[in-house]
Structures are given as C-alpha cells and as structure tokens.
A and B are shown apart, each in its own frame.
Chain A
Amino acid sequence: MRYLASRLLQMLLVLWVVATLLFLMFRLMPADPTSAFIDPTFTMEQQEQMRAAFGLDKPLWQQYLIYFANLARGEFGQSFFQQRPVLEILLSALPNTLVLTVSALLLAYLFGVLAGAWLAWKRGSRVEAAAVPAVLTVRAAPEFWLGMILLAVFGFGLGWFPSGGANSAGARFDSELARILSLDFLAHMALPCLTLALYLQGLPLLLMRSTMLEVMQEDYVTMARMKGLPESRIVLRHAARNALLPVVTAFALGLGATVGGNVVVESVFSWPGLGRVLVTAVAASDYPLAQGAFLLITVVLVVMNFIADLLYSVLDPRVTHGARG
C-alpha cells in the first residue's frame, strides 16, 4: 500500500512538472501566441477582446493558477482555430489512435515474443545469424520510409489496401463500434498497423531472445532437460513463461510511448488520430491544442508507466520488497 502511494505521488509530481514545463514553453516562445490568427484588420479593441477571451491579458502567475485550476477540473482550454474545447477535440481523435496503437503493439509483441523465443532456441544457427541483423535493420529504418515503401508496394502498386484515411469515402455505419469493426476500417488500418508493428517488433523480439537465453541457463531448465521433457515443452512451458516478465512490462510502457509516437505513421497514412491533431496544432501555432495534446500523451505515458510498475510488483514481488528495504 505504501509502495502504491509512493508511486502515485511520484506520478503526480511528474505530471505537475510536465504541465508546468508545457505552460512555460508555449508562453516563452518568441511570438505572441495570438499573432497567427488575429487578423490585422481587427481593431485594437477587438484584438484585446480576443486576448482576454483566451486569458492572455492577465499576468503570467495568474494565467498559471487559472491553468492549473482548469486542469484540475479536466479543462484543457479552447483551441485557437477550431474554437472548440481542446479535450473534446482530443477525445474525438483518441479512439482511432488507441485502436491503431493497441493492434500494432499486439501484433508486434505476439510476433516478437514467438520469434524471440524461437531465435533463442536456435542460438548459434544460420537462421539466428541472418534474423538478428534483419530485425535490427527493420527496427532502425525510419517509420516514414517504411510506411512509404509499404504504401507504394501494397497501396499504389498492388492495390491491395487503401492509400489513406480510416474509411472509404462516404462510407456509412450505424455506430462507432460498427465502423471500427467493419472490414473497411480494418482494410484501411492494415498498412499503418503493419508499419507500426514492424517498427515496434524489434524491442520485444530482442528482449525475449536475451531473457530466454538467460533463463535457459537456469537450474530448473537443466532439471527439465534431465527429466527428459521434450525441447518444445521446455522452451514454451518453462523458459518462455519466465522470460515473459520484462516483455509484459515493456508492453505497458510501449503502449504509453506509442500513443505519442504515432505522429509519423498517422501523417503518412492520413490516419485521423491524436498524432495528426498534434502536428496540425503545432503547424498552426494552436498553442492550447498542442499543449493539451502533449499533456494527454504525457498522462497516457505516465499512467502506463505506473501500471507497468504495478504489474512488475505483482509478477515479481521482489520489486515491492526492494522499495520497502
């Protein structure tokens, strides 16, 4: 319980620091935040009215207090350009991002875990010698390049998948759920999901392989071999199960990190998610929206980190004991 409270406190501290940094960052930028959208034909009175509407006429410390009071109430402010609540804009984009991210992560981790275990089993073979550099190459390739290659081959070339967006033009669905579960949506998600999965698979694969190699030196694995158990059973039941621990926590961290890291994939595939909102907001100098998007990404990252910590302490009680010690 004390461990939980301590981690919770740390989480809140991190969020406060990030929120403060974001607040200062956007206000200390060289241009007046309203200069991008206040038309020069406006009278000075109108300009002042607009600055007042966004609270920019107040001293910095007052703005800071208002900002935190609003955050505490779950208000992220109003977008300069869309003139809508930031939270509403972010929440409308979040489902697309989450569906894409979770699907890609599951695909990457499923493949990574199985391939990692298999490569550990094939330690020293030609397959391993070829596979590890290949995995590293794909992992090191820039996302936009990978995405454009897939788009050029499977979209423009072979025509197997659509070139962008989340649905076909004018497609109609009875509900949001029906839209997300439709074949049309899945077809549109295939290439961005594959791009993201290819980018993400390196970590679980290499992590699984290295922990498997460690675990396979353990006494209980030797004991299993001495008992004459089949090799596949030793790998899957005994070794892989124990090697999964760091991979599970990496999954939670990966989920947090990729929600914010989808900017490139979403832009390449015109995927209407959080990353695109962020790019649009930064390009248009829509500071409240950009600030809100960064903050939401931070919240997801920090919360997933927290969950990873909890998971770890559940899966490996030594972590909690360590904290007590």
Chain B
Amino acid sequence: MTDMPFLHRRALLLGGTVLAAASAPGVRALAQQAGGQIRRIVLLSAAQASDPQEFQAAQLVAQAWRQLGLDVEVRGLPRPQLSDIVWRSRDRWDTTMWRMVGRPERSDPDELVYNLFHSSTRDTGFNFVGYLNPQYDAVAEAQRRELDQARRRALINEAQQIVMRDNPYFFLVYPQNVVAFNSRVIRRETVVDQAGIGQRNFWTFNGAEPAGQQRDLICNAAEALNAINPLYISGAIDSWVTDLVWDRLMRVGPDGLPRPWSAESVTYVNPTTLDVKMRAGLKWHDGRPVTLDDVIFSFQAPAGGKSPMYRPFVINIANMEKIGDDTVRFTLREASASFLTATLAKINLIPKHVWEPVLARLEGTPQNAESYQEPQPIGSGPWKVTRFRLQEEVLLEKVADHFAAPKFDRWILRVVTNTEASLGMLRRGEINFLSDYRGDPALLQQLARQVPGIEVAAATDMGFRFVAPNLRRPPFDDPEFRRALMTAINRNLMVQAAWNGFAVPANSHVSAALTAWHLPEQHRANIQQARQILEAAGYRVVNNRLHYPAGRQETLQPLQ
C-alpha cells in the first residue's frame, strides 16, 4: 500500500518530463514571438471587513484574469489608505476596485460624463485613471452646453459609446437600494420610487401618508450624523435631513428631472440668462419672510470660499440681480445644461439674517462655515428641526403652512448601529421605515414574509461599481488589452455571487436607473473571446503567463 503513491508520483514525474521535452521547441518558438512577461498585477480593494461585496467582486475579477495568464494579487486596504494611493499617487497603482455613489444632482449625467473622463480632471480631479481622448473631451464639452434635450441625449449616447469602446473602466454593477416599511403605518401608494435614488427620498419622506393612527414617520440610520448644516456636504445621511429642512429653488423630481420648488417658474431668457420667479408667502422657520435678498445671498455665500464643498456648484454664476418684486435673474459665465439640477436644485436657501453675521465672524480665520452648527437650524423647508442629538436621534416637525406640508406630524431619524437590531425594531414597530439597511437583503425578505404589513422595496441606484485600470501604466494603456480584460469579467456572476442578486450588470457610467440617458448594451463574458483579443493584439501566453507583444519589455514594478 505504501509503495503505490511513490509509483504514481514517479510515473507522473516521468510523464511530465517527457511532455515538457516534447513541447520545449514549441515553448521556445512561442517565447521568441513574445515580449517580456507582464508583471504581477495588484488589484486594490477595500478591506474585506469594510466592504465584503467589493472584496468578493475583486476575487471574482482576479479569478477571471488569471485564466488569461495574468498573475493577479487582490490587496485589501483600509479606505483612507486606498483613497490616498488612488488620488495622490496616480502613477503607482495598476488597478483598483472603485465606486461612484448616487446623489440627486447626479440625476443629470453631466457630472459623471464630464468629470470622470475629461482630460482637464486628469491630474488632480476625478479622472484618476488618466483617460485621455480629445474626441471624448469634445463630446463631454458639447453636451454640457447643449440645452436641447434630444440633441443632448445624442451626445450623451456618443460619450457612452466611446467609453464602451475604449474601456477606461471595467463596469461591474449598478447596486440596488433596499428599504422596507410598514404598510400598516405608511400608505404603500404614497411611497415614491425616485429614479436612481430609490424609495428613501425627499418625495417619500414629505409626501407619505399615514395608513392608521400613527403620525410619526420613524426611520433609521446605521451611523451617526456629522452635522445639520446647509453649507456643508457632511454625509449621505445628513443630506436626508438638510433636504427636508432647507428648501431649494428647484428639486429633482421622482422622474429624475428638475422641477420648480420654491421657485414658481424658471425661464431661460437666453442660454446664459435665466429668470427665477419666486413663490409668494414663503417663510423661514423663525417666522420671517423669505426675500429675494435671501435667495441671492444663498448663492453668494458658497462662492466666497467659506463653503468649499458647495463652491463648485456656484462658480458658473457671473451675476444675480432682482427683477421686480419676485424674480431673480441669473447670468451664467457659460451655458450649462446641468445648471438647473446641479445648482438650482442643489443649493440650500439660507436666511441672510442668520448666516451673514456667522460668515462675517469667520472671515480672516482658518475656520469655515462647515464648522458652525446652528443651535436651532433655520430653513424654509416643509420640516423644521425640533431637536437633534447627532449620535442618537433627529426629530423634525411638519411645517403646517408650508406650500407642500407633510402628511405625517413628525419625522424621526434614529441612529441604530446594529443591523440585526434595526430588523428587530422594524418588526416591533420601534421604527416603521427601514431607510438604512446594510445587511443581507434575503433576511429582509424573510422578515417581510413573516410579519404582515412589512414590505420590501428595491430600486437600482444611479451609482455604480467598477474596476479602474490605471491607463498611465502599460499594459493598461492598450485599449485591446483593456477590451480583453473587460470581456473576461462575468458581470452576471458578480450580481449573484457578490451582491446576492440585489444589483444589475453595469455597462456605462450613466446608470440604467437614468432611463432617459442610459445606453443599453448586451454584454456577455467570454474567456475564449478575451484570449482571442489578446492573441490578435500580439500578447502571448508562455508557460501559463501572459507576455507583452514582441519587442515590448516590462519596465514597471508591482505596487509595493
């Protein structure tokens, strides 16, 4: 018995040697056609503990690429370290898992279409992959100037086609936002699905109607808030509150398009001039009227440098002036198709009598408006702040005389850090809208089957997950190499294995959730086809390792 394994092993070794000898001339010939061996590729990812889905997706990508002959190492890093390398050391890394998150202002595709791939953002901005294509630049610039919807759609489509051809990103999925609510408390028909955002949105929070006696809409957040400040983009959860407390001239509607809100109408006089007519009777939460001076101040304040996060949204405004008693005329430096969404629907209207003295005090100090927390925040939105403890709870009460007064009396946001506890709270009625769920969606569906009244809703996000190759570093500078790598990735497998089915395969930087702008594409993973693309581009596999085309040598080192 004990001799048998030795016999087997010896036979195998002998067989292997014979085979190797027989194939040696073939290997030598192949090696002569090939260039240098491609270095080990490091695929960066968030650490498994902080983002298990991303890490799992990275493993699947690495697995696919290894089948092409690449030596791939998945390296999980803490987010700050990952960000530091990707943003600040743009020549050092090869590939990284990355994500773009959905925000209401991204309902207009301009921010992603322009910032992600335009050459002007290549050195320090969002174009961290280093994509450089004058044809793309021209299209990205044209779409932002084009005010005609149909012509702009054609340009956005063209931009997507270029990206699908050049593969500066390897798109993976558009994740789905999953929420749950108690339909015995909240009328199902009044829960709104906002394009690219899902059911947890301003329109639901403001327009949801009680189904019974309960007059409190109680939501949850899985992490503490940072601030409630109209001049500080302090976090996604914080923005749920600022959306409700501070009104804007326009709001992004459930259809993803901007619509007048505090403004009665917005009219283009010419491509760089527009008149905003205000609604009558608007009031701040302290009872004072909203004036045209307040409106102008709201757009001037971020421009002054004391609100760095809002500043980019107002720099295109050249001038503002009052026209009559109820209209403000905006003059822009250049025509902008996204101005309504990215500026008028983004900038919070703030009371001049509150913020002017604050900004004056901050002048000449290193602090900015982000460091000021109003003891009693004052906005003009449909909800007013009653009380807030950022680690614990935010309590808002409806403004009964608001032009869009909420149907519930109170909106309460509870900070619940334990995912299982948030499920228990929904079951017991301690919350009635599970607005922030970071656990397994299957558990939520199970809960909905067990508890009458609990309903689960999922909606595709306008954000997306992808693998970013560094186009500054060979072989990622070769579009054919990138096309092969993209072809090898099975996005359907990614949806099932990494996102448990709560995502849809992604193909473009304009999410499938933005139906008005998205360009669909049939995509099918095919390792064999990927190998053929590489072969046709001159890449060769020698001894199971992928080599550059003949004449090219490896000059770079893997990221240390």
Q: Give the interface of A toward B (CB within 8 A).
A: 29-33, 35-36, 39-44, 46, 49-50, 52-53, 78, 81-84, 92-93, 148, 151-152, 155-156, 159, 162-170, 172, 266-270, 272, 276-277, 279-280, 283, 285
Contacts and interface: CB of A to CB of B under 8 A. Distances in A.
Contacts of B393: 165, 167, 169-170
A277 B417 CA distance: 11
Given A53-B367, A83-B370, 16 more contacts: A31-B78, A31-B83, A36-B80, A40-B125, A53-B366, A53-B368, A81-B226, A83-B372, A83-B373, A155-B421, A155-B428, A270-B414, A270-B416, A272-B224, A272-B392, A272-B415
B44 to A, nearest CB: 13
A169 B412 contact: yes
A63 to B, nearest CB: 15
Given A40-B128, A41-B115, A267-B417, A82 B226 contact: yes
A40 B126 contact: yes
30 contacts: A29-B81, A31-B85, A35-B84, A36-B79, A36-B83, A40-B124, A50-B308, A81-B234, A151-B420, A151-B424, A152-B424, A155-B428, A163-B416, A163-B421, A163-B430, A164-B416, A165-B416, A169-B393, A170-B395, A170-B412, A267-B417, A268-B418, A269-B418, A270-B414, A270-B416, A272-B415, A279-B417, A280-B224, A283-B50, A285-B78
Interface of B: 50, 78-85, 87-88, 115, 124-126, 128, 216, 218, 223-224, 226-227, 229, 232, 234-235, 308-309, 311-312, 366-368, 370-373, 387, 389-393, 395, 410, 412, 414-418, 420-422, 424-425, 427-428, 430-431
Contacts of A285: 78-80
Given A36-B79, A82-B226, A82-B390, A163 B84 contact: no
- Which 5 pairs between the two chains have the least Cβ-Cβ distance? A31-B84, A272-B392, A31-B81, A31-B80, A272-B391
B87 A40 contact: yes
Query: Which of A151, A156, A269 lies at the interface centre, i.e. has the most chain B CB atoms within 10 A of its CB?
Result: A156
B412 A83 contact: no
Contacts of A277: 224, 391
Contacts of B370: 83
Contacts of A151: 418, 420-421, 424
B312 A41 contact: yes
Contacts of B416: 163-165, 270
Contact of A35 (B88, B422, B431): B88
Contacts of A266: 417
Query: Which of A151, A168, A280 lies at the interface centre, i.e. has the most chain B CB atoms within 10 A of its CB?
Result: A280
Contacts of B87: 35, 40
Given A52-B366, A272-B391, A30 B425 contact: no
A162 B85 CA distance: 44
B236 to A, nearest CB: 12
A83 B216 contact: no
A30 B417 contact: no
Contacts of A270: 414-418, 421
B421 A166 contact: no
Contacts of A167: 392-393
Contacts of B229: 83
A165 B428 contact: no
A170 B410 contact: yes
Given A35-B88, A44-B124, A269 B80 contact: no
Contact of A164 (B124, B395, B412, B421): B421
A276 B418 CA distance: 11
A152 to B, nearest CB: 8
Contacts of A148: 420
Nearest to A281: B224
A83 B234 contact: yes
A277 B223 CA distance: 10
Contact of B425 (A29, A44, A163, A280): A163
B371 A83 contact: yes
Contacts of A272: 224, 389, 391-392, 415
Nearest to A79: B226
Contacts of B50: 283
Contacts of A52: 366
Nearest to A159: B428
Contact of B218 (A30, A31, A169): A169
Contacts of B424: 151-152, 155-156, 163-164
Nearest to A32: B84
A6 B387 CA distance: 47
B124 A156 contact: no
B84 A169 contact: no
A83 B306 CA distance: 13
Contacts of B392: 165-167, 272
Contacts of B84: 30-32, 35
A268 B229 CA distance: 29
Contacts of A31: 78, 80-85
A163 B414 CA distance: 12
Query: Which of A42, A156, A169, A270 lies at the interface centre, i.e. has the most chain B CB atoms within 10 A of its CB?
Result: A169
Given A41-B126, A81-B235, A268 B431 contact: no
Contacts of B418: 151, 164, 267-270
B454 to A, nearest CB: 14
Nearest to B128: A40
Nearest to A83: B371
Contacts of A92: 389, 391
Contacts of B79: 36, 285
Nearest to A41: B312
Contacts of B81: 29-31, 35
Contacts of A46: 308, 311
Nearest to B85: A31
B389 A156 contact: no
A91 B363 CA distance: 28
A139 B14 CA distance: 60
Contacts of A172: 387
